[in-house]
Amino acid sequence: MAGKIPDLIATERAGTGKGAARQARREGMVPGVAYGGSADPVAINIPFNVLIKQLRAGG
């Protein structure tokens, strides 16, 4: 039986590359890239506290 799939709220990141990722980390965010379908990849940020909370909860 499948469990509930939790939602993670991500925001679009303006910059790409190492510098932008490091800046995001300094601001308490986890940088990432969302891929899917035929759309172009989108650089995103997820708040660290929200992500770690979901991971620890097993979600």
Number of C-alpha atoms within 13 angstroms, CB side, residue 31? 16
- Per-residue confidence of the chain (59 residues) as pLDDT tens digits? 467 777 889 999 999 999 999 999 999 999 999 999 999 999 999 999 999 998 898 75
What CA–CA distance (Å, rounded) separates 52 from 49? 5
Tell me how many domains the chain contains.
Answer: 1
Residue 4 lies in a domain: no
Structural domain of 35? 29-58
Residue 44 lies in a domain: yes
Residue 49 lies in a domain: yes
Residue 41 lies in a domain: yes
Neighbours of 18 (CB within 10 A): 9
- Encoding tokens for residue 46? 């997820």
Residue 17 lies in a domain: no
Neighbours of 46 (CB within 10 A): 17
Residue 12 lies in a domain: no
